Amino acid sequence: MAGPTPLQLRCCAASGCRSAGSEALQAALLAARDQLGGAAEAVTIKPVGCLRLCGRGPLVALDRSDGSELYAELTPDQAPALLAAATGLGDGQGDALAGRRIDPADPFFALQQAVVLEGCGLVNPESIDDALAHGSYAQLKRVLLECTPEQVRDQVKRSGLRGRGGAGYPTGLKWDTVALQPPGARTVVCNADEGDPGAFMDRSVLESDPHRLIEGMAIAAYAVGADQGYVYVRAEYPLAIERLRLALKQARAKGLLGAGIAGSSFNLRLEVRVGAGAYVCGEETALLASIQGQRGTPRPRPPFPAQVGLWGAPTLINNVETLASIPVILREGGDWYASIGTEGSKGTKVFALSGAVANTGLVEVPMGTSLRTVVQTIGGGVPGADGPNGGVKAVQTGGPSGGCIPAHLLDTPVDYESLRDLGSMMGSGGLVVMGETTSMPEVARHFMRFSVNESCGKCVPCRAGTVQLLQLLDRFVERQASIADLERLEALCRMVGATSLCGLGQAAPNPVLSTLHYFRQEYQAACRDPGQCEPLDACLLQEVTP
C-alpha cells in the first residue's frame, strides 16, 4: 500500500479536535516549518481524520522511520517543539512537550482492532489520491470485473455482518431481500442520521475516510442492482457533509461514480440529502419520508423498505458503519471477518466512549469484548476514582433507546444479545459512563425528555404517553412520588413500549425500565412517604448513601 514511511506529522482535522483548536495548530505547524527550514522541510504535514482520543485534542501523530508517536492537547506555541521532535533536532526543547506524549502501548490503543477505522487517522479525508494510495476503490473495481452480484452477497452473508444502526439485522439477508424483489428500479440509502446523543462513530467515518463509505455503498448498489443512492446526513454535521460532498465530486471525476464505473457497465448516481434536526428521521421509514421532502413521520411496517421504499421501489437502507465494513470484508473475505467476534455477533464494533471516563474518544474492538475492558482498561475508568469498579456506577448503551448497565455487570461481553438480555441494546455505539454521584431517576428523566422532544407525534402512545411518563419522572426526581406513581410508571412504560408505532416510542421506556430494574431503591427512596416503600430496608440503605 503506502510506500516507505515518510517523515510526517498527521494532524487530526476531525470535529472533535477542531473544537479543541486543531486548525490553529496546523497553521502554526506550517508556519513553523517555513520558518525553521532545513531539516524541517522534509516533514510532511498532513491533515487526517480522527486519531481516536478525542477528549484530549488537538492530537498529532508523528511518523518516523523508527515508528509512530502521538501527542495530545497541543497548543500552537508548541509547533516548533513538535517539528524539532520530528527531525530529531533541538532536543533541548523536549520539555515543551512534557506530558503531551502519549504512550503508544497504552491500553487505549493497544487493545483496539482497526477494521472499519483502518484508514481513519491515516488518510487525508479530502484527497482521493491519498485514499486510492491506501487501497480505496480497489475492491469496487475488482468486484465489478470479477464477481457477480450473487457472489458479493454471498461474501457478505458469510461474514455474518449485522446492521450497525442498532437493530442488528443480518446485512446479507437484507441485501438478498432487496435483490430478489421483482425486476425494476432499486435504491440504496445510507443512514448517516446518527442522532443518539453520545454517539459520534458515523461522523468520524464520514469526516475521516469518506471514500470507504462511498466504496461500500457502490458495492452494495452493485450487489442489489441499484443505480441510484442517497446518503442522508444530519444537518448538525457540517464538516462531514462538506467532506462527503467533496469526496463524491472527486469520485465522479475519477469515473468511480456515474455511468460505466471503472470501465464496467455498472452505473450509480449518489446524492447527499441533509436532515434538518429530527432524531426520528433515523428510523428507516421516517428517513424515506424525509428524503422525499416530507415530514419525517414513520409508517407501519410491513411493507418493509426492502419491499416498498423510496418512491415505491425496493430500497436498501444500511448504516454508515455497516457499509464502511464492506470493502474490508471483500478484501479479506467473509470468513476472515467471521473469525472476529462472537458466535452471534461477528466482526468489530466502533464505540464512542464519553461521560465520566478518563479517555473519551473512538474505540474499535472485537465484538464480545467485555464492557469492563472497554470502560476501565481502554477508557481508564472514572478520573480520580478507584475500587473494583473504578468509580463507575453504570454504563449507558444504546442512547435513548437503550439502558443503564450497572457496574456489577461490567463483565458482560458487548454483543447484540448480551446487551438486549440486560434490558439495554447495542444501539449505534454510544457508551456513556456514569460515575457514583449520578442519580438514576434523573438519567431516566433526561432520556424521557429527549423522547418527548423528538417524538414525531403521529401515534398516541408516544405522543401523549411520553409526556405523561416525563411528568411521572418529574415527581420522582422532585421526591414527590408515591407508590401508586411507581405502578403507573411501570404500567405506562409497558404500554408505550408495546403499542407505539415505531422504534422511537417502542424503545423510549427502556431507560426507565432498566434503571427501575437495577436501581429500584432510588425510585423507592424518592417516594414522599418512605414508610410506604417496600422493602423498607432498601430505602433506609439509600438514606445513608444518598
Ligand X SMILES: Cc1cc2nc3c(=O)[nH]c(=O)nc-3n(C[C@H](O)[C@H](O)[C@H](O)COP(=O)(O)O)c2cc1C
Question: Is residue 355 close enough to count as binding other proteins by CB under 8 A?
Answer: yes
Q: What are phi and psi of 63, to 5 degrees?
A: -105, 125
Query: CB atoms < 10 A from the CB of 271, how many?
Result: 12
Question: Is residue 254 close enough to count as binding ligand SF4 by CB under 6 A?
Answer: no
Q: Segment near ligand X (CB under 6 A), from 30-38, 258-266, 278-286, 477-485? A: 278-286
Q: Identify residues 53-92 at the interface with other proteins (CB under 8 A).
A: 54-57
Q: How far is the CB of 186 from ligand SF4 (least distance, A)?
A: 26
Q: Which three cell numbers stand for residue 117?
A: 477505522
What residues have CB less than 8 Å from 351, skipping those under 6 apart?
Answer: 201, 362, 363, 364, 365, 374, 414, 429, 430, 431
What is the DSSP secondary structure assignment for residue 304, as one 8-state letter? P
Q: How far is the CB of 470 from other proteins (least distance, A)?
A: 10
Of the two residues 156 and 502, which places its CB atom closer to other proteins in the complex?
502
Instruction: Report angle CA 303, 304, 310 to the nearest 5 degrees.
Output: 100
Q: Which amino acid is at 441?
A: P
- Show the site string, 297-336: x = touches ligand SF4 by CB under 6 A, - = not: xx--------------------------------------
Q: What are phi and psi of 70, to 5 degrees?
A: -125, 140
- Show the site string, 379-398: x = touches other proteins by CB under 8 A, - = not: -----------------x--
Residue 397 interacts with, from ligand SF4, other proteins, ligand FES, none (CB under 5-8 Å by kind)? none
Q: List beta partners, residue 48.
A: 12
Position among 170, 197, 344, 530 found at the interface with ligand FES (CB under 6 A): 197
Whole-Å CA distances, 358 to 158, 361, 375? 38, 10, 9
Question: Is residue 503 close enough to count as binding ligand X by CB under 6 A?
Answer: yes
User: What are the helix and strand counts (H, E) for the chain?
Assistant: 25, 14
Question: Is residue 198 close enough to count as binding ligand X by CB under 6 A?
Answer: no
Position among 63, 130, 209, 283 found at the interface with ligand X (CB under 6 A): 283
Of the two residues 195 and 347, which places its CB atom closer to ligand X in the complex?
195
Position among 352, 405, 473, 507 found at the interface with other proteins (CB under 8 A): 352
Question: Is residue 319 close enough to count as binding ligand X by CB under 6 A?
Answer: yes
Q: How far is the CB of 468 from ligand X (least distance, A)?
A: 20
Q: List beta partners, residue 386.
A: none
For ligand FES, how many residues bind (rule: CB under 6 A)?
2
Question: Is residue 224 close enough to count as binding ligand X by CB under 6 A?
Answer: no
Q: How far is the CB of 447 from ligand SF4 (least distance, A)?
A: 14
Whole-Å CA distances, 304 to 122, 174, 249, 288, 389? 38, 10, 32, 11, 43
Position among 197, 333, 380, 530 found at the interface with other proteins (CB under 8 A): 197
Question: Is residue 215 close enough to count as binding ligand X by CB under 6 A?
Answer: no
Sheet with 315-319: strands ordered across: 269-274, 228-233, 187-192, 315-319
Question: Is residue 430 close enough to count as binding other proteins by CB under 8 A?
Answer: yes
Residue 450: burial class (beta carbons within 10 Å; 0-12, 13-18, 19+): buried
Rounded to the nearest 10°, the torsion over CA 217, 221, 226, 230 is -10
Q: How far is the CB of 23 from ligand FES (least distance, A)?
A: 19
Contact positions vs ligand FES (CB under 6 A): 197-198
- List residues binding ligand SF4 (CB under 6 A): 280, 297-298, 455-459, 462-463, 500-502, 504-505
